[in-house]
Chain A
Amino acid sequence: MSTDIAVDATARARELLGVSRLTNQALTSWLHGLPGVDQVGCEARAAGLGTRSIKNDSKRWAIDLAISMIDLTTLEGADTHGRVRGLAAKALSPDPSDLTTPRPAAVCVYGDMVATAKEVLGDSGVKVAAVATAFPSGRASMPVKLLDTKDAVTAGADEIDMVIDRGAFLSGDYLTVFHQIAQTKAACGDARLKVIMETGELVTYDNVRRASWLSMLAGGDFIKTSTGKIQPAATLPVTLIMLEAVRDWRELTGEMVGVKPAGGIKTSKDAIKFLVAVHEVAGEDWLDNQWFRFGASSLLNDLLLQRQKMKDGVYSSATYIADDSPSTAY
């Protein structure tokens, strides 16, 4: 079964590229044939989207949507079962003072914490996402990466966040990146695969666009900006490029692929700018946690504060937000 998917990815890629054999040269021609990105123009467009003024009902709606799109994340060497249980409990009941508050989409942890998170979340509908494939650097052999993935899936992960081999990508070895994604996708079984491109290491927008298309071609269900360990992480222009990519991919294939900016989005104001970009660039079909996610930890608490403010008309102290992430500084 798993090899079938990998074969399928290659077969489909051959068909889309119109080649009889999928070679690195064929991939290079295809990726380098994508229209370029003008950095100044791209950043100006992102800044323009950032000036939208979202008020009242639309702000309320956007805050709830943003909460429901969060992958509540803890990825630290110091993670303990207790901390992960706390985070999972927070996902089940983000604001104990208001039970109408939507739940985040998922809790995102390292593979060895999947079982602990799953134990708390059960069949609540909040998914468990695990980072895999030698996160965050991706520097391991393929069998190790695949085992890492399978281990998390076996432990109950609903979603896998893999990292691409940036070294291979930057040296132009697109075929290796393609095969690694396709094989990881095969190892995921029913779990959805998010492909982390680590855009902070790809640096140019042209690279981000090419990596996005390569990830989609290889079967990624989501394209994701960053691990959160490298700066810059999720910027609005990078996300804009990715939203254009999934929009154009749907035009080409009819399939939707999700987008997940991760790292550095801390405030409601920022989150709403991203939602505006989703709305005006990819379109409203992506305004759903099936197709758009925020990888974040402290963002949830700011959204909850804003949500309370919209309801009560006054800002609460942050001490009124139940918090289970001791690393979040007050």
Chain B
Amino acid sequence: MPTFEYAPAPESRAVVDLDSTYGLFINGDWVDGRGTAFKTVNPATEEVLADIHEASPDDVDLAVKAARTAYTRVWSRMSGADRGKYLFRIARILQERAREFAVLETLDNGKPIKETRDIDIPLAAAHFFYHAGWADKLSYAGYGPDPRPHGVVGQIIPWNFPLLMLAWKVAPALATGNTIVLKPAETTPLTALLFAEVCQQAQLPPGVVNIVTGAGDTGQAIVDHPGIDKIAFTGSTGVGKMIARSIAGTRKKATLELGGKGANIVFDDAPIDQTVEGIVRGIFFNQGHVCCAGSRLLVQETVADEVVRRLQRRLSTLRVGDPLDKNTDVGAINSRAQLDRITSLVDAGEAEGAERWDNGCALPQKGFWFRPTLFSGVTQTHRIAQEEIFGPVLSVLTFRTPQEAVAKANNTPYGLSAGIWTDKGSRILWMADQLKAGVVWANTFNQFDPTSPFGGYKESGYGREGGRHGLEAYLKGDL
């Protein structure tokens, strides 16, 4: 009897209408950038998708001025109820065009269509719906009777969840009455540029949302611009520190959502089959390109061998390949640079004596790929236990007692996420109290919801996004 081969089930690309060149979206219109244009590629095939204009400091200045004018003349004067209407409209358009966004995100980012279709795009729409509801209720959010927006906010977002991170930033900023200059990551600008079209379609007043493309220099120009009142950044801890240094001594506010080295802690009374699923979701979701990934597995020694054995068996069933195929579980690494970084850290792990295992699956010839990989015998001093790999690589460490688990989990400069797997409710509560992590999941991992605040401790940044707490970042303090 032949085996159960799944025939290719590719999602059609026809729904996406790609331009060959994209300019900048400033004051409701497309304008040419004055920097050096760059290309965005499909990481699964290395095919060039489009040329993207780079915003020079002058272009950024233009965008900030447009945002300021829109803020003073329109957006800050509009009632919350009316702002909410625009947000509802954007949310509905995102739902209507969900398939187009999902395919485009998969093309530009390399993540599987299953995830863009079922997670990225629906959650992005949900963030707009959620914040649309807040727009006319800010007086009741607990920040005083008449909380005010900052003005013009600069937002710099990463490449791992391009549209979702845009939604996390744009929705609360608009709901609270701020106007925006947003820069998507240079490797994944396309869904942000399609979102600009959505703003036009929703007839959002010109200048309320401005989207400028480029790399670090463009980002720096936004951070340094004197017309920016607040910076919201998601990305690496290194860049986060640079931003914090740049704005030190200025009146600019900031929220930073940075790196992580999340501990997923498994006790011997955990529901083992679901735990294995949760570990997989924790680190192989989105190729491990997740700041809150459960990249360190801390497992009680009594069950360590069994968990690793079950994990290896499960990883062998992960389907790695064409991100547009509906049956793909793990897609492409977002860029050559990221692939190089993963490879060098994995090599370091091997050189330091950890035992490397991967699922041995076949990889496509072209594009950037990395097999789901697991390191056992990892100790706290190994680089793969300390540094953020941001790839499909899991480091397995062991512990003997709950106290030791807490100590090891907290023994990192980061503090973004943690997971606890146990049947004991009391232990979950005790652990959650001890863990220095902004998000603690119990018997699950990587669950996101617009109503739930998200953010970090220590070098994972400050400020919260989502929920009532997330509004605070976009409203003026001393109320």
* Residues of A that sit less than 8 Å from B by CB: 35-38, 40-42, 44-45, 51-59, 61-62, 244, 275-276, 279-280, 284, 287-288
Q: Are B272 and A35 in contact, CB atoms less than 8 angstroms apart? A: yes
In the bound complex, residues from chain B placing their C-beta under 8 Å from that of A55 are 6-9
Q: Does B443 contact A (CB under 8 A)?
A: yes
In the assembled complex, 17 residue pairs joining A and B whose CB atoms fall closer than 8 Å, in A order, are A36-B269, A36-B423, A40-B443, A41-B274, A41-B275, A42-B274, A45-B277, A52-B6, A53-B9, A53-B326, A55-B9, A58-B4, A58-B5, A61-B2, A244-B273, A275-B4, A287-B1
A53 partner, pick from B5, B270, B327, beta carbons under 8 A: B327
In the bound complex, residues from chain A placing their C-beta under 8 Å from that of B142 are none
Q: Identify which of residues 268-290 in chain B touch chain A, using a CB-to-CB cut-off of 8 Å.
A: 269-275, 277-278
A35 and B6 in contact (CB under 8 A), knowing A40-B443, A51-B118, A287-B1? no
Distance between B328 CB and nearest chain A CB, rounded to angstroms: 10
* Residues of B that sit less than 8 Å from A by CB: 1-9, 114, 118, 269-275, 277-278, 317, 326-327, 423, 443-444
In the bound complex, residues from chain B placing their C-beta under 8 Å from that of A40 are 274, 443-444
Q: Are B6 and A37 in contact, CB atoms less than 8 angstroms apart? A: no
Distance between A280 CB and nearest chain B CB, rounded to angstroms: 5
Distance between A252 CB and nearest chain B CB, rounded to angstroms: 12
- C-alpha gap A37/B278 in the complex (Å): 13
Distance between A30 CB and nearest chain B CB, rounded to angstroms: 16
- C-alpha gap A45/B7 in the complex (Å): 22
Q: Are A37 and B274 in contact, CB atoms less than 8 angstroms apart? A: yes
Q: Are A42 and B273 in contact, CB atoms less than 8 angstroms apart? A: yes
Q: Are B327 and A61 in contact, CB atoms less than 8 angstroms apart? A: no
Distance between B209 CB and nearest chain A CB, rounded to angstroms: 33
- C-alpha gap A58/B7 in the complex (Å): 6
In the bound complex, residues from chain B placing their C-beta under 8 Å from that of A44 are 277
Distance between B58 CB and nearest chain A CB, rounded to angstroms: 48
Q: Are B317 and A280 in contact, CB atoms less than 8 angstroms apart? A: yes
- C-alpha gap A35/B423 in the complex (Å): 9
- C-alpha gap A62/B7 in the complex (Å): 11
In the bound complex, residues from chain A placing their C-beta under 8 Å from that of B114 are 51
In the bound complex, residues from chain B placing their C-beta under 8 Å from that of A59 are 7
Distance between A279 CB and nearest chain B CB, rounded to angstroms: 4
In the bound complex, residues from chain B placing their C-beta under 8 Å from that of A57 are 5, 7
A35 and B7 in contact (CB under 8 A), knowing A41-B277, A53-B326? no
Q: Are B443 and A287 in contact, CB atoms less than 8 angstroms apart? A: no
| Number of residue pairs A-B, CB distance < 8 angstroms | 72
In the bound complex, residues from chain A placing their C-beta under 8 Å from that of B6 are 52-55, 58
Chain B, interface SS category: loop
Distance between B425 CB and nearest chain A CB, rounded to angstroms: 12
Q: Are B423 and A62 in contact, CB atoms less than 8 angstroms apart? A: no
Query: Which residue on chain A has the smallest CB distance to residue B445?
Result: A41
- C-alpha gap A276/B5 in the complex (Å): 10
Q: Are A284 and B3 in contact, CB atoms less than 8 angstroms apart? A: yes
Q: Are B8 and A279 in contact, CB atoms less than 8 angstroms apart? A: no
A288 partner, pick from B1, B9, B273, beta carbons under 8 A: B1
- C-alpha gap A57/B4 in the complex (Å): 10
B4 partner, pick from A35, A45, A56, A284, beta carbons under 8 A: A284
- C-alpha gap A254/B22 in the complex (Å): 61
Distance between A81 CB and nearest chain B CB, rounded to angstroms: 36
Query: Which residue on chain B has the smallest CB distance to residue A52?
Result: B327
Q: Are B271 and A37 in contact, CB atoms less than 8 angstroms apart? A: yes
Query: Which residue on chain A has the smallest CB distance to residue B4?
Result: A279
- C-alpha gap A40/B444 in the complex (Å): 9
In the bound complex, residues from chain B placing their C-beta under 8 Å from that of A61 are 2, 4
Distance between B409 CB and nearest chain A CB, rounded to angstroms: 21
Query: Which residue on chain A has the smallest CB distance to residue B271?
Result: A38
Distance between A31 CB and nearest chain B CB, rounded to angstroms: 15
Distance between B192 CB and nearest chain A CB, rounded to angstroms: 27
In the bound complex, residues from chain A placing their C-beta under 8 Å from that of B270 are 35-36
Give 3 nearest A-B pairs by CB, closest first.
Answer: A41-B274, A53-B9, A38-B271
Query: Which residue on chain B has the smallest CB distance to residue A59?
Result: B7
Query: Which residue on chain A has the smallest CB distance to residue B3?
Result: A284
In the bound complex, residues from chain A placing their C-beta under 8 Å from that of B277 are 41, 44-45
Q: Are A38 and B4 in contact, CB atoms less than 8 angstroms apart? A: no
Q: Are B317 and A38 in contact, CB atoms less than 8 angstroms apart? A: no
In the bound complex, residues from chain B placing their C-beta under 8 Å from that of A54 are 6-7, 9
Q: Are B7 and A56 in contact, CB atoms less than 8 angstroms apart? A: yes
In the bound complex, residues from chain A placing their C-beta under 8 Å from that of B8 are 55
Query: Which residue on chain B has the smallest CB distance to residue A280?
Result: B317
In the bound complex, residues from chain B placing their C-beta under 8 Å from that of A41 are 271, 273-275, 277-278, 443-444
- C-alpha gap A38/B281 in the complex (Å): 15
A37 and B273 in contact (CB under 8 A), knowing A52-B327, A55-B9? yes
Distance between A233 CB and nearest chain B CB, rounded to angstroms: 22
In the bound complex, residues from chain B placing their C-beta under 8 Å from that of A287 are 1, 3-4
Distance between A59 CB and nearest chain B CB, rounded to angstroms: 7
In the bound complex, residues from chain A placing their C-beta under 8 Å from that of B269 are 35-36
In the bound complex, residues from chain A placing their C-beta under 8 Å from that of B273 are 35, 37, 41-42, 45, 244
Q: Are A36 and B327 in contact, CB atoms less than 8 angstroms apart? A: no
Distance between A34 CB and nearest chain B CB, rounded to angstroms: 9
